[in-house]
Amino acid sequence: MQHLAGKSVIITGAGRGIGAACARLLGRSGAKVVVNDVDPGAAEEVAAEVRANGGIAIAEVADITSYDAVGSMVARCVREFGSLDGLVNNAGLIILDLINEVKEDDLRRMVEVNVIGLSFCAMHASRQMIAQKSGSIVNVSSGAHTGAPTMSVYAAAKGAVATYTYSWAMELEQYGIRVNGLLPMADSRMRGITDGWRASKGLAPHPAAIVSADSNAPVVEFLLSDAARGVNGQLVKVTGSQLALMTHPAQLHPVLERPSWDFDAIDAVFRTEFAGKLQPLGTATLDVRVL
């Protein structure tokens, strides 16, 4: 079925990997797709593939870290397709290193692409969607945002993406706009970068399972569709055979109260009330149910 028939969608970083997989599936699902990438050849190749399979797609070469370039991309989508119904904030950059060895330029570039560029896309897209009083945004975060050694800057940037998702979902709901996030897993260029860096340090490949980039696209298809009209502010994790919702940050109960807190009082609480409640590092899996 064409679950996205008539909808116009921009996918950033769609020249390869998860973005390309989304472009192919959304095109088959009836969406008119803007295939964005900084690589002209890659963007046009994916757009041509969508068209060859009966879909509608155009290639848009734009660096999302340019505010004006993103504005032009959104304007072109509306000009050619009549609306902007979906934005998939997929473009990202990963550079691995220990925090004491991270280079300044690498840190700045990761924040520029993963946080600022993503912000520019949402800023321009949300203005159009507010005018339409409808739309759906899917932000691609990462399971790394719960904490990941050797990729702390990337993880922090993806943590910002998760927080953006919660915040924008609350801000834009009044305009009929939904914002959700995807935590993907894929055999992609980023996976190659990760394993290459680990090999350079004499480490084994990342232990996470290698799954096809295509396995992530159906989640994006669903979140952009009208079938997900009641889904807002959620982070959905997919790892091939497993699908899960992430919990939102929250205070653990009970919250302790007293007139004031000094060292001894705090020390006593960590020895008693908090002793069994310190949180595990990284992603915690509660249970797995086979369907």
pLDDT of residue 188: 63
Within a 10 A sphere around the Cβ of 283, how many other Cβ atoms? 15
| Model pLDDT for residues 78-128, shown as the tens digit of each residue | 999 999 999 999 999 999 989 999 999 999 999 999 999 999 999 999 999
Percent of the chain whose predicted confidence (pLDDT) is above 70 = 92
Q: Assign 3-class secondary structure to the chain.
A: CCCCCCCEEEECCCCCHHHHHHHHHHHHCCCEEEEEECCHHHHHHHHHHHHHCCCEEEEEECCCCCHHHHHHHHHHHHHHHCCCCEEEECCCCCCCCCCCCCCHHHHHHHHHHHHHHHHHHHHHHHHHHHHHCCEEEEEECCHHHHCCCCCHHHHHHHHHHHHHHHHHHHHHHHHCEEEEEEECCCCCHHHHHHHHHHHHCCCCCCCCCCCCHHHHHHHHHHHHCHHHCCCCCCEEEECCCCEEECCCCCCCCCCCCCCCCCHHHHHHHHHCCCCCCCCCCCCCCCCCCCC
Cα separation, 1 vs 12, whole angstroms: 24
Whether the Cβ atoms of residue 28 and residue 46 lie closer than 8 Å to each other: no
- pLDDT band of residue 22 (cuts 50, 70, 90) is very high
Q: How many other CB atoms are found less than 10 A from the CB of residue 255? A: 6
Under the banding of pLDDT at 50, 70 and 90, the label for residue 196 is: confident
Q: Where does 8-245 sit in CATH, by number? A: 3.40.50.720
**What is the model's pLDDT at position 187?**
73
The mean pLDDT of 153-172, rounded to a whole number, is 98
| Among the ranges given (103-112, 136-145, 150-159, 180-189), the one the predictor scored with the smallest mean pLDDT | 180-189
Higher pLDDT, 81 or 191: 81
Task: Give, in degrees to the nearest 5, the angle at Cα 57 between 52 and 60.
Answer: 130
Task: Please give the pLDDT value at position 146.
Answer: 93
Question: Mean pLDDT, the chain, as a whole number?
Answer: 93
At 207 the pLDDT is 60
Active site residues: 154
pLDDT in tens, 244-279: 999 999 999 999 999 999 999 999 999 999 998 998
Beta strand 8-11 with 86-89 is: parallel
Confidence at residue 208, expressed as pLDDT on a 0 to 100 scale: 63
For the entire predicted model, the pTM comes to 0.92
